[in-house]
Structure 1
Amino acid sequence: MTEPVRVRILGVGMGPQHVTPEVAAALRGADYVLAADKGADSGDDGLLALRRDIVHAYPGPDGPADIVTVPDPERNRSAGLSTAGYEDAVADWHAARAQRYAEVLRERGGTAAFLVWGDPSLYDSTIRVVERIRELGVPLEFDVLPGISAPQLLAARHRIVLHEVGRPVHVTTGRRLQEAVAAGLDNIVAMLNPPPERLDLTGLDDWMLWWGANLGASGERLVAGRLGDVLGAVVDARAAAKSEAGWVMDAFLVRRR
């Protein structure tokens, strides 16, 4: 491989309907798309199928880009991990991913694309992984094109503004929700959430909740109301979303009343 690999990191929202003209043009010009294969037992086959739908919706002159699947390394997902332990587990996972993607990029060269759910700037690590690949000695150039993010979809589906007039909104993960509450924040979007039974919602029964799963995709479910009143509905809706789509990703806004 003599020429640098060109890598396009493309935000695709949650399906072909969210792809911007800019991202569509980049996808049509890609030689192949790199995608993690998490195995049939992971429940993520539906996400791989959704990536295929996106690629086939925007074919290049010679047809849709090839999808090159790379077995995804295992990650420590133990429920009891501390924050530091979780961050170490993710760092190890990213390093292993970079090694596997580097092998493909060295072999194939050309123009490769990564399709990122939502937007690459928000709770996604593709940019970090690609930077690690370059540190491994793979000559590459990369750019990033934005997509529609989960908080945008959440607000649109519930027909709300994410913050009150002149007020901030804090974006975090479900794992760190209570840290935000303890810091006095009272208008919080949470992403990368575990199932509700593993979320610490202590003290939030009287807060307002706007919740959504698989936003803009198969299995979409929405729940809104006083958290203490609707939590059971969230549990049921999340299970239904996963049953319908074979996978589930959810996000929510909580606000002190």
Structure 2
Amino acid sequence: MRSSALPPSGVALSLIGIGSGDPGHLTRDAIRAINAADLILIPRKGDEKSELADLRRSICNDVLTGDNTRIVEFDLPVRNAAESDYRKAVDDWHDAVAAAWSQEIRGHLGDQGRVSLLIWGDPSLYDSSLRIARRLDPLPEIEVVPGVTSIQALCAAHALPLNEIGEPFLVTTGRRLREDGWPVGTNTVVVMLDGGTAFQSLDPAGLHIWWGAYLGMPAEILISGLLAEAGPRIAAARSEARAQHGWIMDSYVLKRSA
């Protein structure tokens, strides 16, 4: 078991992977790290994603065993979607988020204690919390607690083996799939952070899709089948769900016949 002792700098930061929505995804290490925190920061991303903040609060209520942990909500800066340079927009956004973290830590913890953030999925996969944490000044000691990823939750929900025997797979984003097309050298592609339905930009011949939204939550939706047939159903279900909830988090696996 990892130590919860504070580092010489006085401030420690725990990035705790909490899975993709099911409180059962929490590991014992995650529960230990939550209870070791003096301060837990819960980001707010607007009313549309209030359910994500609600779930983080619910997890804290379920697993915290003492009364010494403060839970503080704060408004997360929004990335400038109008910026044409994507990398610059992300870089500026990370600076703004780091500044927000620093402000909350100074205001509620000072220069002594352990602060934790509950990270959707796992901090290492298509999540920027580690990059943002390394922009903090002074740099705290950083602890990472791994969590169940949406990829794992998706494959489990569909009872799907991700890789074919002896073959690689690629994890990419909807933007890259739409701009670059099918990646060369693989027959299996995992797509995350798709703001739309990038799979509709592909020739569906020979492609099979396994799609899931709100994985691990009561609102979970699963659709699979040949892309030519399942694609339109997924697009319709996605549009309806987004209108109902005001937001959507989804991912999918595409496999091409060898």
Short-chain TM bin? 0.7 to 0.9
Gaps of 5+ in 2: 1-7
Q: In the TM superposition, what are the counterparts of 1:75-154 in structure 2 within 5 Å?
A: 75-78=79-82, 81=84, 85-107=85-107, 108-109=109-110, 110-133=113-136, 137-154=137-154
Q: Which residue of 1 aligns with 2:73?
A: 69
Residue 240 of structure 1 deviates from its aligned partner by 4.2
Q: Which residue of 1 aligns with 2:5?
A: none
After superposition, the Cα gap between the structure-2 partners of 1:99 and 1:119, relative to the gap in structure 1 and judged at 3 Å, is same
Q: In the TM superposition, what are the counterparts of 1:26-45 in structure 2 within 5 Å?
A: 26-40=33-47, 43-45=48-50
Partner amino acid, structure 2, of 1:24: I
Matched residue of 1:181: which SS? Answer: coil
CA contact (8 A) 1:98 1:132 kept: yes
Partners of 2:235 and 2:181 in 1: CA distance: 23
Q: Which residue of 2 aligns with 1:25?
A: 32
Q: Which residue of 2 aligns with 1:194?
A: 195
Residue 106 of structure 1 deviates from its aligned partner by 2.2
Q: C-alpha offsets along residues 48-86 of structure 1, whole Å, 9 cap, x if unaligned?
A: 1111111111113227x33222222121225x95xxx22
CA contact (8 A) 2:174 2:196 kept: no
Q: Which moved more, 1:230-239 or 1:160-169?
A: 230-239
Q: CA RMSD in A?
A: 2.1
After superposition, the Cα gap between the structure-2 partners of 1:61 and 1:187, relative to the gap in structure 1 and judged at 3 Å, is same
Residue 165 of structure 1 deviates from its aligned partner by 0.7
Residue 47 of structure 1 deviates from its aligned partner by 0.8
In the comparison of the two structures, how many residue pairs are matched? 245
Identity over aligned pairs, percent:
36
Matched residue of 1:194: which SS? Answer: coil
After superposition, the Cα gap between the structure-2 partners of 1:18 and 1:243, relative to the gap in structure 1 and judged at 3 Å, is farther
CA contact (8 A) 1:34 1:113 kept: yes
Residue 245 of structure 1 deviates from its aligned partner by 4.7
Gaps of 5+ in 1: none
CA contact (8 A) 1:213 1:248 kept: yes
TM-score (ref. length: structure 1):
0.88
Matched residue of 1:44: which SS? Answer: helix
Q: In the TM superposition, what are the counterparts of 1:103-252 in structure 2 within 5 Å?
A: 103-107=103-107, 108-109=109-110, 110-133=113-136, 137-178=137-178, 179=180, 181-196=182-197, 201-242=201-242, 245-252=245-252
Matched residue of 1:172: which SS? Answer: strand
After superposition, the Cα gap between the structure-2 partners of 1:244 and 1:120, relative to the gap in structure 1 and judged at 3 Å, is same
* 1:56 aligned onto 2:57: no
After superposition, the Cα gap between the structure-2 partners of 1:33 and 1:241, relative to the gap in structure 1 and judged at 3 Å, is farther
